[in-house]
A and B are shown apart, each in its own frame.
Chain A
Amino acid sequence: AQRVTQPEKLLSVFKGAPVELKCNYSYSGSPELFWYVQYSRQRLQLLLRHISRESIKGFTADLNKGETSFHLKKPFAQEEDSAMYYCALSGASGGSYIPTFGRGTSLIVHP
């Protein structure tokens, strides 16, 4: 079975402060991991994926297989980063790829 855990429902920081949104996963194989973001009144959209090792909007995420984590980080938060963030895992189970999402973390960046 695969599981994604986002331990924080809400993360509140001030503008300019570092941000780390935690994501832990449980999966026996090699997972594909993603972060999705949902800004107010907008649709859920892909932020970044671990295979591309990219930085989007200043956010990065490193897959740590030893700790089974995929935390999302940004050194200096901006007010426009306020949104709902979902960690997601795609892994094969019985030959099918079953997408699993965490419950999400609401990030609020105060001015």
Chain B
Amino acid sequence: EAGVTQSPTHLIKTRGQQATLRCSPISGHTSVYWYQQALGLGLQFLLWYDEGEERNRGNFPPRFSGRQFPNYSSELNVNALELEDSALYLCASSLEGRTHYGYTFGSGTRLTVV
């Protein structure tokens, strides 16, 4: 069984540009979560998608957005990139929006804004 896959592995962008990160959940998982892991700050919750809808978002500005496709894969878009957006972005998936069994994480996309 394939795990949670994220692409690209690394992404370098210039300040002001837009970044698009992609995530494919484990087969059968309908919920996708996005986290930002910045140095020294741990994991900060960004967005949660389930059944194609945004269910919740963390304390991030609107330039962080995303969507979930019918096959449950997801995109995270970051507009008007700022230097402090440089971080590891992790995607996780779970069954049906409940975290009873915990989350399964991808290996992340390292975004560097220069």
List of B residues within 8 angstroms of A101 by Cβ: 35, 42-43, 45
A43 touching B42 by the CB < 8 A rule? no
Tell me, yes or no, whether B2 is within 8 Å of chain A by CB.
no
User: Cβ of A79 < 8 Å from any Cβ of B?
Assistant: no
Which of the 9-residue segments A12-20, A44-52, A69-77 touches chain B?
A44-52
Chain A positions 86-111 with a Cβ under 8 Å from a chain B Cβ: 86, 90, 96-104
Encoded as 1 (CB less than 8 Å from any A CB) or 0, chain B from 95 to 113 comes to 0011111111111100000
A32 at the interface (CB under 8 A from B): yes
Chain B binding site: helix, strand, loop or mixed by DSSP? Answer: loop
Q: How large is the interface on B (under 10, 10 to 19, 20 to 34, 35 or more residues)?
A: 20 to 34
Contact of B108 among A43, A45, A102 (CB under 8 A): A43
Query: Cβ of A49 and Cβ of B45 under 8 Å apart?
Result: no
CB of B17 within 8 Å of the partner chain = no
Counted as pairs of residues, one from A and one from B, with CB atoms less than 8 Å apart, the total is: 49
CA of A63 to CA of B81, assembled, Å? 41
For B104, list chain A residues within 8 Å (CB): 46
- Closest chain-A Cβ to B104's Cβ sits at a distance in Å of 7
A44 near B99: Cβ-Cβ < 8 Å: no
With both beta carbons as reference points, the residue of chain A lying nearest to B105 in the complex is identified as: A44
Find out whether the CB atom of A102 lies under 8 angstroms from the CB atom of B48. no
Residues of A within 8 A of B21 (CB): none
CB–CB B102/A96 < 8 A? no
Judge whether A25 is part of the interface by a CB distance below 8 angstroms. no
State the A residues within 8 Å of B (CB). Answer: 32, 34, 36, 43-46, 49, 51, 86, 90, 96-104
Q: Which residues of B contact A (CB under 8 A)?
A: 3, 33, 35, 40-43, 45, 48, 55-56, 90, 97-108
